[in-house]
Amino acid sequence: MKYTLIVLILYLLTSFSHLSGQKLYVWCPSEQTIVPRNGFLKNDTIDLVFFDGRVLNEESRIECTSENVINHLQNFLFDCYPSAVFNSLSTNSYFDEPNTNRITIKIGISAYHAAFGADIKLGIGSVGGDFSFMVFPKGKWNGLTAYFIKIYDYRCSREIQKSKEISKITSKSNIWGYKTAIDCLAKTYSDATQEMLFFIDNTLM
């Protein structure tokens, strides 16, 4: 009986230690280098809506709120397409049908966080697309940014609908602690955002 009790206590302590280690980290994105698409989409109206589907637990260290992350992405797109007329919609409009005679861009944020080892997968949210195939190294810091983007081009009687899953992972050994985690997350954000621009350019060209 005494042996069983000791084993149970050790199990509970181990479980608690593991759960307390399941911490996710979010820092605000660094400023990105912008190449404005001057003249592209000139005077075209774009309805832009974001949905943050991440699952950030109570143990998470969040130094950049959901609103901050969305604002960074939104302002980045404003600067990249200065000739377009953006109409920012609330998150509540994400699942609404797109308007006619204009462009609608819906960006679902499935992941934007860092964690140590496989704990990174805990924050991945469901926003459409399939991100279940991702594999994360154990014993390293992992940074992850994942978007699901839907574009509806209904200009001038067009009926173009395209979607794309974008996921970027960077992993590094724990050499510099949190600095390593910040670098991993920054790299994935930069790569994912650049791929998002490439997708938008090609779809609306």
* pLDDT tens sequence across 90-141: 999 999 999 999 999 999 999 999 999 988 888 888 877 665 556 677 889 9
Note down the domain range covering 155: 23-204
Asked whether residue 16 is domain-assigned, the answer is no
Q: How many domains would you assign to the chain?
A: 1
The pLDDT of residue 176: 81
Judge contact between 146 and 124, C-beta under 8 A: yes
The pLDDT of residue 159: 93
Asked whether residue 123 is domain-assigned, the answer is yes
Tokens coding 203: 């779809």
The pLDDT of residue 11: 36
> What are φ and ψ of residue 148, in 5° steps?
-120, 115
In CATH, what number is assigned to the domain containing residue 106?
A: 3.30.160
Asked whether residue 107 is domain-assigned, the answer is yes
Judge contact between 103 and 118, C-beta under 8 A: no
pTM: 0.85
Asked whether residue 3 is domain-assigned, the answer is no
Which residues of the chain fall below pLDDT 70? 1-22, 129-135
Asked whether residue 117 is domain-assigned, the answer is yes
Asked whether residue 152 is domain-assigned, the answer is yes
The pLDDT of residue 130: 64
| Helical pair 178-204 and 66-80, crossing angle rounded to 10 deg | 40
The pLDDT of residue 131: 56
Judge contact between 69 and 110, C-beta under 8 A: no
Asked whether residue 6 is domain-assigned, the answer is no
- What's the rounded Cα separation, in Å, for the pair 5 and 10? 9
> Could you please report the per-residue DSSP string of 39-104?
TTTTT-EEEEEEEE-----TT-EESS-HHHHHHHHHHHHHHH-TTSEEEEPPGGGTTSPPPSSSEE
Asked whether residue 164 is domain-assigned, the answer is yes
